[in-house]
Amino acid sequence: MAWLFLTGSILTEVAGTLSLRMAAHGRRRWYAAVVTGYLVAFTCLSFALAEGMDLGVAYGIWSAAGVALTALAGRLLFREPFTWVTAAGVALIVGGVLLIELGARPA
């Protein structure tokens, strides 16, 4: 169940961040989606932690997936650049989170 909550947290955080991009460009009604997205994201993240997921693992996956999905969505929705350097940065973030996940497992 913790993984389901974490997935919900990631998706709503990305939705909130994409809504922030819309709100920042003069569409103020999007601020309601920003607040809702972040409130639901943090609530789901707290539920994932309450289900026993380690904080370092949960936050690492949450932030890395959020960065990666937001960068890809920014490219698709807003035509923002996604260069090989950006892709390498995302890969490094994902790799770092995988190492944190592996380090959190008992030997």
Q: What is the C-alpha to C-alpha distance for residues 2 and 10, in angstroms, rounded to an integer? A: 12
Q: Where are the domains of the chain?
A: 2-104
Give the count of alpha carbons within 13 A of 37, CB side only. 18
Angle made by CA atoms 12, 14, 16, in degrees to the nearest 5 = 70
Burial 19-38 (b: 16+ CB within 10 A, else e): bbbbbeeeeeebeebbeebb
Considering the entire predicted model, what is its pTM? 0.88
* Coil, strand or helix at 85: helix
The terminus-to-terminus CA distance of the chain in angstroms comes to: 24
Q: Tens of pLDDT along the chain (107 residues)?
A: 999 999 999 999 999 999 999 999 988 899 999 999 999 999 999 999 999 999 988 998 999 999 999 999 999 999 999 999 999 999 998 898 888 778 877 76
